[in-house]
Chain A
């Protein structure tokens, strides 16, 4: 860490919230695959991520320890009997972001699990990727996730994607006391033991959500993926205050009563960048000349490249995440332990709410790994994920202004997101009201034979998925008064999303001040890497 030159600047190197002063350096802000360097108004509070927690020195030892001393149940080896049927479900490629360096933590868990199962005489083992309505992973992606040895031994007959539209592949275990249907993958339901290997990137993930959503069908997800549930989630990154998670937990408890489920949950730190991009992990006050040169070089390169090439560059660099916790056992106690660590990594205490909140939309979301961050996904990042990165009170006041930076290009991937195209260009011009969209069109898209075919045989997100993406921005849309997109390369995408446009960040701040006054409190969430604010006052 660079030594602070003056004592009153010490906070800059230690606090996670930095207040911009007259001589503060400009801040780096993501704008898709570009990096902006922007001077912020004096008084702006910039919230930085916590430094990465130290990774576990021996991940496999931690995995063994977790499964031998699990939370709330007997050790895994005591559950195993020769000849039993075991299904191992795995989180899909949406976690983590960007994909981590190999070996992926799921591979490391499997390298411990599979020999243990084999030694116990358990040969009937299937690996199921719990994609739910996400796109099916490609063989190459599946191979990268578990390593070539496991892939070659299991793919394709015993290592495959969950198919939420297989008419014979889903069974109903029952209903919750709220009438939510509990629908689960047949192979998992008919196994003697279901082991779920998860990777918690953010506190929203894991717990009952793993089996309850990962291995269910459209009707199963439909129970809680609604505008109503999202409106009542404050936020959905905080399971205790999330209506979505309350529903998921009810469903999960029915699953736990019906099936023997053993969770192996893992979580990672926030070391998203290292090497040549390592300067993005530092705050700007800490940059040396070399860091500034690297940024200038990177920006000059990116400026000269087409969008597809820039995407390739960013997506070719896996993240340097390290595993910081592994716990195993029953669903709820295991997940509680993981959540503690996750919050320790991400939560930054704040005691204010801003009138104007600024953040950059990066190149990746959970739904465009190896693909395009299309306008609907820009929306879910802006109004959904990044807005929901809070615990307690949001970082922006009700009726405040959200300023985001992204080119908002009208580009979609027809292979991964075919139903998004119709949603965006056919439905949004008619209405942005999530409840109307749900009522009028969701089922039509969900049952569209073309979209079902593309989901089942190709690598397309389910026909209903764009609706869920729209709902996931619902609490953000309801909370803020105005959203301004900075740097959009067209006028119609922001307009269709219901946003204002500005050419520069300064122009957007002026627009926001015209609403909130010159004295408006401005804040910036300096992400990625992931940071969540905690305002429990």
Chain B
């Protein structure tokens, strides 16, 4: 019985895509030319606002961004998730990802993906990577239609750390023996809460923090030679 887990952020850490790619895929596959054009244009026009929000607050960005899903049919989102995985996510898996996850498994860690993405968009990826569990945001649906709001608490930033702590408590795992991997400074709380944090393909701010706290820095963008 293992007493530790390895928690992996997904976007930018294990794959080169992010939640915008997933949504863009949905926007581009609306089932009608007009619908596709409308959703795509709406997304493109909102990009500056989204970018600005992301710079200030990742939580606000996620909440704002998930509004774009409002009104979409649950069936359609789930069905398209398979294609999203095959066409967008699978090719975007970094070369170093499988070996890193395999090593975590071999060490006896439970492999858990922890992402701010919506669960149906990353479930196939989690299966593909052999993850034992998935901690992701869940869209609230009413009458089979997305409301654009996620089931609280939103998994992002400080809440990721809480989600990790709750998960470890629930599963009888030790946080101080567990690992966490992320590429972004927005995941600082998740990295800080475990015993073994690692910055992966870090942005400049996370790289500075990792250097300051002497956290290891790795690249998954390259595999073994």
A457, CB-defined interface residue at 8 Å: yes
B224 touches A163 (CB 8 A): yes
A457 touches B223 (CB 8 A): yes
A163 proximity list for chain B (CB < 8 A):
224
A418, CB-defined interface residue at 8 Å: yes
B196 touches A450 (CB 8 A): yes
B103 proximity list for chain A (CB < 8 A):
165, 447, 449, 452-453
- Residue of A414, A449, A451, A456 near B224 (CB, 8 A) is A456
State the CA gap A447–B106 with chains docked (Å): 8
* Chain B positions 80-101 with a Cβ under 8 Å from a chain A Cβ: 96, 99-100
Distance in angstroms from B107 CB to nearest chain A CB is: 4
Distance in angstroms from B103 CB to nearest chain A CB is: 4
State the CA gap A447–B66 with chains docked (Å): 39
Q: Could you list 22 examples of A-B contacts with CB < 8 Å?
A: A163-B224, A165-B103, A167-B102, A412-B214, A414-B211, A414-B216, A418-B217, A421-B214, A447-B103, A448-B107, A449-B104, A449-B109, A450-B179, A450-B181, A452-B103, A453-B218, A453-B220, A457-B96, A457-B99, A457-B218, A457-B225, A458-B218
B102 proximity list for chain A (CB < 8 A):
167
B217 proximity list for chain A (CB < 8 A):
414, 418
State the CA gap A451–B218 with chains docked (Å): 9
**Closest CB pairs A-B (n = 4):** A449-B103, A447-B107, A449-B104, A450-B198
A321, CB-defined interface residue at 8 Å: no
Most chain B CB atoms below 10 A, which of A163, A422, A425, A452 = A452
Distance in angstroms from B92 CB to nearest chain A CB is: 18
A339, CB-defined interface residue at 8 Å: no
Please report the total number of B residues contacting A with Cβ < 8 Å: 26
Q: Which chain A residues have a beta carbon within 8 Å of chain B's beta carbons? A: 156, 160-161, 163, 165-167, 412, 414, 418, 421-422, 425, 447-454, 456-458
B6, CB-defined interface residue at 8 Å: yes
A167 proximity list for chain B (CB < 8 A):
102, 106
User: What is the chain A residue whose CB lies nearest that of B224?
Assistant: A456
B17, CB-defined interface residue at 8 Å: no
B225 touches A160 (CB 8 A): yes
State the CA gap A447–B222 with chains docked (Å): 20
A453 touches B96 (CB 8 A): yes
A450 touches B224 (CB 8 A): no
B73 proximity list for chain A (CB < 8 A):
none
A457 proximity list for chain B (CB < 8 A):
96, 99, 218-219, 222-225
State the CA gap A418–B196 with chains docked (Å): 12
State the CA gap A458–B216 with chains docked (Å): 12
B100 touches A156 (CB 8 A): no
A414 proximity list for chain B (CB < 8 A):
211, 214, 216-217
- B164-199 CB contact bits vs A (8 Å, 1 = yes)? 000000000000000101000000000000001010
B107 touches A454 (CB 8 A): no
B222 proximity list for chain A (CB < 8 A):
457
- Residue of B109, B211, B216, B219 near A451 (CB, 8 A) is B216
* Chain B positions 197-225 with a Cβ under 8 Å from a chain A Cβ: 198, 211, 214, 216-220, 222-225
A454 touches B216 (CB 8 A): yes
- Residue of A448, A452, A456, A458 near B196 (CB, 8 A) is A448
* Chain B positions 96-137 with a Cβ under 8 Å from a chain A Cβ: 96, 99-100, 102-104, 106-109
B104 proximity list for chain A (CB < 8 A):
449
State the CA gap A160–B198 with chains docked (Å): 27
A425 touches B214 (CB 8 A): yes
Most chain B CB atoms below 10 A, which of A160, A449, A452 = A449
State the CA gap A452–B6 with chains docked (Å): 14
Distance in angstroms from B156 CB to nearest chain A CB is: 23
B214 touches A453 (CB 8 A): no
State the CA gap A454–B218 with chains docked (Å): 6
User: What is the chain A residue whose CB lies nearest that of B177?
Assistant: A444
Most chain B CB atoms below 10 A, which of A160, A448, A454 = A448
State the CA gap A421–B197 with chains docked (Å): 13
B107 proximity list for chain A (CB < 8 A):
447-449
User: What is the chain A residue whose CB lies nearest that of B222?
Assistant: A457
B216 touches A450 (CB 8 A): yes
User: What is the chain A residue whose CB lies nearest that of B102?
Assistant: A167
Asked if A450 meets B218 with Cβ closer than 8 Å, knowing A156-B225, A457-B223, the reply is: yes
Most chain A CB atoms below 10 A, which of B109, B217, B224 = B224
A453 touches B106 (CB 8 A): no
- B52-77 CB contact bits vs A (8 Å, 1 = yes)? 00000000000000000000000000
User: What is the chain A residue whose CB lies nearest that of B221?
Assistant: A457
Asked if A449 meets B100 with Cβ closer than 8 Å, knowing A457-B222, A457-B223, the reply is: yes
State the CA gap A156–B225 with chains docked (Å): 8
State the CA gap A156–B224 with chains docked (Å): 12
State the CA gap A454–B184 with chains docked (Å): 19
State the CA gap A452–B216 with chains docked (Å): 12
A456 proximity list for chain B (CB < 8 A):
99, 224
State the CA gap A457–B211 with chains docked (Å): 19
A458 proximity list for chain B (CB < 8 A):
218-219
B223 proximity list for chain A (CB < 8 A):
457
* Chain B positions 33-69 with a Cβ under 8 Å from a chain A Cβ: none
State the CA gap A447–B107 with chains docked (Å): 6
Distance in angstroms from B57 CB to nearest chain A CB is: 29
B220 proximity list for chain A (CB < 8 A):
453
A161 proximity list for chain B (CB < 8 A):
225
State the CA gap A354–B145 with chains docked (Å): 85
State the CA gap A137–B222 with chains docked (Å): 16
State the CA gap A73–B107 with chains docked (Å): 44
Distance in angstroms from B15 CB to nearest chain A CB is: 16
Distance in angstroms from B121 CB to nearest chain A CB is: 25
Distance in angstroms from B44 CB to nearest chain A CB is: 37
State the CA gap A454–B181 with chains docked (Å): 14
State the CA gap A74–B93 with chains docked (Å): 52
A156 proximity list for chain B (CB < 8 A):
225
Most chain A CB atoms below 10 A, which of B100, B179, B218, B220 = B218
User: What is the chain A residue whose CB lies nearest that of B214?
Assistant: A421
Given A447-B107, A456-B99, 14 new contacts (CB under 8 A): A165-B103, A167-B102, A414-B211, A422-B214, A449-B100, A449-B179, A450-B179, A450-B198, A454-B216, A457-B99, A457-B218, A457-B219, A457-B224, A458-B218
State the CA gap A414–B211 with chains docked (Å): 8
Distance in angstroms from A377 CB to nearest chain B CB is: 17
Distance in angstroms from A422 CB to nearest chain B CB is: 7
